[in-house]
Amino acid sequence: MDKALEHQFVTNLEKDQNIVHKICRIYTNDQASHNDLFQEITIQLWKAYPKFRGDSKFSTWMYRVALNTAITLYRKKKRGIQTQDYDTVHFRIKAEEYNDETEQQLTLLYNAVKELNDIDKALVFLYLEDKNYREISETLGISEVNARVKMNRVKTKLRNILNP
Amino acid sequence: MDELEFLKKDWKKQDANYPKLSYAQIYNMIWKKSSSIVKWIFIISVLELLISTFLSILFTGDDYWIQLEKYNLKNITEVLFVIGYAITVFFIFKFYRNYKKISATDDATTLMKNILKTRRTVKYYIAYVLIYNGLTAIVVFSYMIYFHLNSQDQTLTKYSLDTLDWIKFIGIGLIVLTMFLGLIWLFYRLLYGILLKKLHKNYKELKKLEM
């Protein structure tokens, strides 16, 4: 593949890398796995890049490939030593304006999301990224009705995790 | 407030807190080796196709043909052979076509479906090889018994067997066959268990409630 394509791809990904980082945050529990998944997503994006026609935005196209990698293609590496869970370290940075109670609730919520299955995580992620139900259904390959029903169930699940 | 709405507010605030990789770091990454399951599935599938084809050739060496000639089975076996190879070529072609269809740019369901389809092709091929060779073995074996019983050859009738011997003979044959098939089945369960457990689970989860 030619240099121009490489340059174009890396520039685009550098600009939109947050999308990949966010997916890694949701799907992995430690920094080493985060880096692994980030790398695999980058490889898959690059491999699929020649198929990127430019008829959609680069970021929109990224969601699909990156989520597919996290859900289906990525194979977790076996690790001997468990590195520290970054939920508690730097999964999210505390915001100054929150009071203790809000802060605690948010921590609980983030932890609850971590307990969801791969598909539910994808639904939550797309929702948090402001995707509408049509986009969610297209990314996951399910009907819009199904996407709505699943999202409602995720909400119930989260509520149940928070208030057992 | 809705839990997810509450979360979304904070989620957006987090945008500045993610690591920032440089151009060079990302550039280096694109040349790294992938460790995706599709790569593993491809390697394992090609190995399976090669091994099963190799085994069918191995089982049918010179001795096999000499034996067949002796029992006047050569013509029919030749026909079966041609058909067998045609089927093998068909499976390899189908496998390749399915494999090529796997694309990370598809939606999640389609991607999973295509991976499962590729695996299924290989699974069917293995089943076909086992059934085909099993049936051939049974047919040839029966024919040999028949031939043996009807033989006027003195050197052969010397080894004539009584009913009990036959039962033992067939019994042992069945046990060996069952063990052999059991081992292959176990190997498959393991292979699938390791490689496709997550995929199967997620696929089921996606298809849930889908009409």
B63 touching A, CB under 8 A?
A: no
Q: Do B105 and A109 touch (CB under 8 A)?
A: no
List the one residue out of B8, B12, B199, B196 whose CA is nearest residue A113: B8
Looking at CA atoms only, how far is residue B31 from chain A in angstroms? 7
Domain spans of chain B, in order of start: 36-207
pTM of the model: 0.81
Looking at CA atoms only, how far is residue A152 from chain B in angstroms? 10
- Alpha-carbon torsion, ordered B138, B139, B144, B146, to 10 deg: 110
Q: Do A141 and B110 touch (CB under 8 A)?
A: yes
Whole-angstrom distance, CA of residue B110 vs CA of residue A141: 7
Question: What would the pLDDT profile of B51-85 be if each residue is shown by its tens digit?
Answer: 877 877 776 666 766 776 776 667 777 787 788 88
B positions 31-50 inside 8 Å of A (CB): 32-38, 40
The percentage of chain B sitting over the pLDDT mark of 90, rounded to a whole number, equals 19
In the predicted structure, residue B124 carries a pLDDT above the cut 70: yes
Q: Mean pLDDT over residues A123-139, rounded?
A: 94
Beta-carbon pairs below 8 A across chains A and B: 158
Question: What would the pLDDT profile of A2-54 be if each residue is shown by its tens digit?
Answer: 888 899 999 999 999 999 999 999 999 888 899 999 999 999 999 999 888 77
Whole-angstrom distance, CA of residue A31 vs CA of residue A85: 8
What is the residue-averaged pLDDT of chain A?
A: 86
B28 touching A, CB under 8 A?
A: no
CA distances from B105 to A28, A52, A60, A138, B200 (A): 22, 8, 11, 11, 20
More confident residue, B64 or B7: B7
Q: Return the residue of A nearest to B8 by Cα.
A: A128
Q: Do A141 and B107 touch (CB under 8 A)?
A: yes
Among the partner-chain residues A39, A65, A146, the one whose CB lies closest to the CB of B105 is: A65
Question: Which domains are delineated in chain A?
Answer: 1-91 (1.10.1740.10), 94-164 (1.10.10.10)
List the one residue out of B22, B17, B12 whose CA is nearest residue A90: B17
CB-based contacts of A138, cutoff 8 Å, min separation 6: B107
Q: What is the pLDDT of residue B151?
A: 65
B191 interaction partners in chain A (CB closer than 8 Å)? none
A125 interaction partners in chain B (CB closer than 8 Å)? none
More confident residue, B159 or A37: A37
Q: Do A43 and B22 touch (CB under 8 A)?
A: no
A95 touching B, CB under 8 A?
A: yes
More confident residue, B22 or B2: B22
Q: Is residue B125 a contact partner of residue B91, using CB atoms and an 8 Å limit?
A: yes
Interface test with A, best of B6, B28, B34 (most A CBs within 10 A): B34
A51 touching B, CB under 8 A?
A: yes
B117 interaction partners in chain A (CB closer than 8 Å)? none
